[in-house]
Structure 1
Amino acid sequence: MKNTFYTVWIGSLSLAIHTAIASAETDLTELNLEELLSVKITSVSKKTQALGDAAAAVFVISHDDIKRSGATNIPDALRLAPGIDVGRIDANKWAVSSRGFNGRFSNKLLVLIDGRNIYTPAFSGVYWEMQDVMLEDVERIEVIRGSGAALWGANAVNGVINIITKHSADTQGGLLSAGGGSEERGFGAFRYGGKLNESTSGRAYVKGFERDALARASGRPAGDAWSKMQGGFRIDSDWSTADSATVQGDVYHSDLNQQIGLAMLAAPFRETIADQAQATGGNLLGRLQHRISDTSNYVLQLYFDSYDRRESFIEEERYTGDVDFQHRFALNDWNDIIWGAGYRYTYTKENQVKQSIFNFTPRNGATIILVRSCKTN
């Protein structure tokens, strides 16, 4: 069936027109406690398990939660998770952390989008303004509050946030979403999904927005308006009950205005510089899964990610390639063995435009990360 709905927020009006076939989604408010604990998650032990069986403090933000919240970006959607601190610094920057110690460059929090690590080794954190997905395509966000480092590595000491998008077979048809207001001047997205053959489905999308600057206490604009355009695709192929593959990718470009405060040795001891940053990037991911039995499977994943961020004081280019293999099997009735190997290569090049603000030595270089993990339950 087709549906049209209207959402009204304070200070802005949003109109969304959906032409996709509505799928039957479970209403979590109608589930009892036992059914809620049986919701399937994958982020805690790198395998599908019931929420009640997970040996971690994990919270799931569902697709319906995001839709009803009115969130238009990932940081605002994360406000729904208890224990996650989300602070908005200006119109285009957020500070997101777990277990306190929040700040612009908070680290030790692993953030994944469909298994792709989006943190930058520049400060072991996330440029949240550079990360975006079409929220209508998000199936769920799994949030682990606490150390997930046993399986995910040192960057997961404070927690893991895993953003999981829907299978392309669940997003068939067209969807158009658009809106505007006093702060979010204009935003829109278009996505279309279809069948490529009997076992393969795909979707493609394009989205963009323009957001106004915040206002200072005096009423003057804060000079932090920004805009962004992004597009991407996803193809899923389930050629047998045991084998499946996924290929997906995104490209984006954004213009970000910002005000930079610099310390001075003479009065007034602070100088404010108006700057316009530009960020361009893209990624490509491929994943192959094979189910050997009900208690055994393996996953091979590869991705390439790059971005070019240019500000008045520094220009940074980063290229990352990653390959990860994981195998799970049951040793007996009460033990699961999960082992794997990963290899990541990252290359960066920095051009220090103003060395008085930051200093990188050397200006370019490469980092190789080799990870192996093993866990017994």
Structure 2
Amino acid sequence: MAGEGTRINALTETTTPAGTDNMAVDTPTGVRRATVNTVRNLATAAPGMDGAAAVGASAKAAREDHIHPTDTSRMPATHPASAITGLGDTTPAAVAETGAIGASTKPARQDHVHPIPSWIARRLTGNVTVDLNPSMPAAQMQALIDAQYKDLNGYALTFQLANGLYSMAAKLSFIGFYAGSLRLQGNPAETGLTADKLAALQFAALGSEGILMSGGGAEYVVRYLKIIMGDANNAVYLLNSTRAHMVAASIAIPGSTGSGVQVNAVASVNVSNSYFAGGGYGITSLSGSNVMSINNASDPANLPLYGLRASSAIIYKNGTQPAGSIANEATAYGGLIL
């Protein structure tokens, strides 16, 4: 083995005749060996780009500083904007409750923004007043109601009616508001017990209530306005909530059914300084509701059939109360009027 190192060190380059291979000769043994320094049969063509893997057939060696061409059909690792084509050209969809792979072949733009869906809770950061005026149709008013945050976050959301007569082709629904006070009100100067108000909602024959306030646990308030029904239905329906108030309102109902205000499954309701004309009942308390009736009255020329009605619920009285053409009070299913 000692002589092997000598033979390797003794490799020398030989000059070979034209047409023979370029090899080195191991001087002691005469064996011709290829060495890095003696290879002369080098590549003379540019290397290929990419493709299927292959051993290759060329007998030429690659040069040390060779460079493969760039495959421009592939995305660069740095993803420059100039390399992206066919970008998205429509507004991204709102965040969904369930995921989806999607079918688009277009990449999203870097600065795209998804809209916030209505089911994601947003909240008030202060008291908010939404102004309404008599030129607005019921559909426009309802759209403004629906556009507000449901989470009142401890603040008051007030729908302020300007003075005037509103022609209402549909009811107004306030549903699912919580953690604050929601108010529908007319002129704040009209706090007294009067038949007429400067702001009045005149409903067509709807076959349903005029105002619905339901669910969520907000404090619902109707005050300082007149409601004129087009048919014998409830003017104000308070449903499935914790607290509500009807203050200084005036209600007119044609026929002999419907209530000026009907309360169903509401823990605590205050009805005060309000005036009732026509219909079946002035104030109705149902299904475990507790209503405090304070200083209310009815139109002597157009009395409801009953001033107060309690069914499986309670009405507490204080001061004057609405009268009825049949009786001032009616109870059923253990209801109490105290």
- Both structures adopt the same fold (TM-score exceeding 0.5): no
Point out the structure with max Rg over C-alpha.
Answer: 2
TM-score by length of 1: 0.21
**TM-score in terms of structure 2 length:** 0.23
Larger strand percent = 1
Point out which structure has higher relative CO (alpha carbons under 8 A, 6+ apart). 1
